[in-house]
Amino acid sequence: MADQLTQQEKSQEPIIPVQPGIQEGRRIEDHALIGNLRSAALVARDGTIDWLCLPDFDSDACFASLLGNAENGEWALTPSDPIQEVTRRYRKDTLILETDFTCDSGSVRVIDFMPVRQEFPTLVRTVVGLKGTVAMQSKLTPRFAFGRSIPRVESVEGSLRAFAGPDALFLRRTDRDAPSPLVSNFHVTEGQRFSWVMSWNYSWLNQVPPRLDADEAERNTERFWTDWVSGIVPPPKYRDAVVRSLITIKACTFESTGGIVAAPTTSLPETPGGLRNWDYRFTWLRDAVLAHHALSIAGLESEAGSFWKWVLRAIAGDPAQLQIMYGIRGERRLTEANLEWLDGYGGAKPVRIGNGAYDQFQLDVLGEVSAVLYAGAKYYNKVDPVAQRALLNVAEQAMKVWRNPDKGIWEMRGPDRHFTASKVAAWAAIDRAIKASDETRMVAPMERLLEAREDIFEEVCAKGFDPELNSFVQYYGGKELDASLLYIPLLDFLPATDPRVVGTVEQIERQLIQDGLVLRFKPDATGSVDGLVGEEGTFLACSFWLVDTYQMMGRFEDARRLFEMLLSLSNDLGLLAEEYMPSLRTQLGNFPQAFSHFSLVNAAYAVTTARA
């Protein structure tokens, strides 16, 4: 999120359309995800790929019509005949998408995937005739620089080459030697199969990617995903939902470094038509505990270890310089800019790239980093010297700054406050260092750590708890609630059965539950809480946190009911965005959201554990 908003942005009233994106018939949840562990594309139900950044998650988009219109880049592959029905699915335990179109004249299947671990990032689209004869059209509109740059197009070595600036795309139709045109009309009859391969390279290399056998690439991609899934240890129930979430998390992983993007998109709005539009193509330390736990509990030791090491590298150095987020390679400067030429999804402007919140002070990050460092050390049965130094450095920093106000876990635009959850997280930073010292031979300044931990505990219980409400509150002296207060039992600050936690959960149920789901907090009309105006949806990760808390409280049936309600909000492919707005019955925010899927995985294992 941006740290600053212009006065014009602050005063702008949000526009609430009947349905976001309805003018193009593409809701956020009408999309599927395909990816290659380096980048990812969104495929709409109508057969249009309207979002793709190449070569990496954080690169400029070559298809950006998701945030604008067709002239901002996309690839439509769909019947020219009127469509009667669309059904789609992922091939079992893979990231290969199959979309079936039924027309009066027959039916066809479009198969979309991105081969993994290719030298040149590649997208493969295959059309298979299922019944009758169907008229089809492939229309590729390449644009670079997030839809702003119209490329030059030429034929070269059997491919069509579109290039501008540093980027070049190469298109081949595999059943012919001549280059495939950007727009082609054709018919497909039962049993016929046509494939297109689009690859990316740097324009200055003048190297045409080698010809790819689409069928062999499809088999190899299927084998990769099914082999990877075979290493998952699923929970006793909800196997398919958990596996789909883990595949989605894997698809959001930049394999070279182990960093996991919060989402592969930018500026899909949290408020319909409003200003809460942020670039999520980075890695948040806020997600670290959930991410590591989800991967670890699922038996994915390699992925958990890669992410843990990414955290260690990202935070290396002076703990006073710890950021809330980093680039997928560990970059620290994530300068924010607005793309004025894009109209935004459903009219939600501005469209942002970069994220100005990277230099905010958020006290909670110290606790989240310490928790994942400690959890990783426990998982690997040791606290290695690098992790020891990191734990102690973060704990020392927490002791220095825990009394300071901050922006809170939600990157508020309002004034700095003493957010209760932030103080709890600072307590956790010190607590995990103490535990690591108790359980290993790690040398630590125990007297100071114990004193600081007790000081934070006493202050939070005195200033963060409101006796009249019988609840902890969002910030000292306030009356508002915040779903981040669920950190209190989740970080072991207090047990879930403590009367103060029970009272807090009761107040969250009274104040933050909307149609059975949990809001992060209640934005007000003036924007005094987070600096922005406009309604936002219920927050899916927070709703999953409540599932975990119910389970810890012994409210097993409530946990199960809420969990299954959340599962029902997934789209037809099992994907979740960041938020869900009950009044519009639509998902909101960047898509798919790793934070939501981490939380789903953790909740699934929680609700299927043996009840004591």
List, for residues 133-143, the tens digit of each pLDDT value: 999 999 999 99
The yes-or-no verdict on residue 47 having pLDDT over 80 is yes
Other C-beta atoms lying within 10 Å of the C-beta of residue 447 = 8
**Contacts of 509 by beta carbon, 8 Å cutoff, 6+ apart:** none
One-letter amino acid at 6 equals: T
pLDDT digits (tens, 9 = 90+) for 59-88: 999 999 999 999 999 999 999 999 999 999
Angstrom CA distances, 160 to 155, 169, 331, 344, 370, stand at 5, 8, 35, 30, 51
State the Cα angle at 363 between 526 and 256, rounded to 5°.
105
- So what's the pLDDT on residue 18? 31
DSSP secondary structure of 5-20: --HHHHHPPPP--SST
pLDDT digits (tens, 9 = 90+) for 181-213: 899 999 999 999 999 999 999 999 988 999 999
**Contacts of 329 by beta carbon, 8 Å cutoff, 6+ apart:** 254, 256, 257, 259
More confident residue, 392 or 523: 392
Residue keyed to tokens 């670890």:
296
Confidence tier at 307 by pLDDT (50, 70, 90): very high
Average pLDDT, the chain: 91
Mean pLDDT within 602-611: 86
Other C-beta atoms lying within 10 Å of the C-beta of residue 317 = 10
Q: Return the structure tokens found at 47.
A: 């057969």
One-letter amino acid at 432 equals: R
DSSP secondary structure of 292-327: HHHHHHTT-HHHHHHHHHHHHHHH-S-GGG--SEE-
8 Å CB contact between 442 and 479: no
Q: What is the spatial distance between Cα 198 and Cα 167, in angstroms, rounded to a whole number?
A: 13
User: Could you give phi then psi for residue 587, rounded to 5 degrees?
Assistant: -80, 150
Q: What is the spatial distance between Cα 361 and Cα 184, in angstroms, rounded to a whole number?
A: 53
Q: What is the spatial distance between Cα 232 and Cα 216, in angstroms, rounded to a whole number?
A: 25
DSSP 8-class letter at 70: G
Convert 213-238 to b/e letters by CB count within 10 Å (16 or more is b). Answer: ebeebbeebbebbeebbeebebbeeb
Q: What share of the chain is helix, strand, coil (3-state, %, to 5)?
A: 35, 25, 40
Peptide bond into 79 cis (omega under 30): no
The conformational region for residue 459 under phi > 0 = left, psi -120 to 50 = alpha, else beta, is alpha
- So what's the pLDDT on residue 381? 62
The yes-or-no verdict on residue 526 having pLDDT over 60 is no
Note the Cα 505 to chain centre separation in Å.
Answer: 26
- So what's the pLDDT on residue 444? 87
Confidence tier at 301 by pLDDT (50, 70, 90): very high
8 Å CB contact between 472 and 500: yes
Mean pLDDT within 306-311: 93
19-28, 193-202, 592-601, range with the lowest pLDDT: 19-28
Q: Return the structure tokens found at 450.
A: 């114990």
Note the Cα 86 to chain centre separation in Å.
Answer: 26
DSSP 8-class letter at 181: P
Q: What is the spatial distance between Cα 611 and Cα 323, in angstroms, rounded to a whole number?
A: 39
* In the chain, % of residues over pLDDT 70: 92
Confidence tier at 333 by pLDDT (50, 70, 90): very high
- So what's the pLDDT on residue 389? 85
8 Å CB contact between 197 and 122: yes
Confidence tier at 436 by pLDDT (50, 70, 90): confident
- So what's the pLDDT on residue 206? 82
43-47, 375-379, 386-390, range with the lowest pLDDT: 375-379
The yes-or-no verdict on residue 360 having pLDDT over 80 is yes
The yes-or-no verdict on residue 1 having pLDDT over 50 is no
Sign of CA dihedral 515, 521, 527, 532: negative
- So what's the pLDDT on residue 176? 80
Q: Return the structure tokens found at 268.
A: 């899909």
**Contacts of 381 by beta carbon, 8 Å cutoff, 6+ apart:** none
Beta strand 513-514 with 517-518: parallel, antiparallel or unpaired? antiparallel
Confidence tier at 168 by pLDDT (50, 70, 90): very high
Convert 572-610 to b/e letters by CB count within 10 Å (16 or more is b). Answer: ebbbbbbbbbeebebbbbbbbbbbbbbbbbbbbbbbbee
The yes-or-no verdict on residue 612 having pLDDT over 80 is no
3-class state of residue 284 by DSSP? strand
The conformational region for residue 255 under phi > 0 = left, psi -120 to 50 = alpha, else beta, is alpha
Q: What is the spatial distance between Cα 76 and Cα 73, in angstroms, rounded to a whole number?
A: 10
**Contacts of 208 by beta carbon, 8 Å cutoff, 6+ apart:** 156, 157, 158, 159, 161, 170, 201
* In the chain, % of residues over pLDDT 90: 80
More confident residue, 414 or 228: 228
Residue keyed to tokens 């295959």:
126
Q: What is the spatial distance between Cα 398 and Cα 375, in angstroms, rounded to a whole number?
A: 18
Q: What is the spatial distance between Cα 86 and Cα 45, in angstroms, rounded to a whole number?
A: 7
Smallest CA-to-CA distance from 366 within 417, 412, 424, 410 is with: 424
8 Å CB contact between 113 and 124: yes
Q: Return the structure tokens found at 430.
A: 């010190």
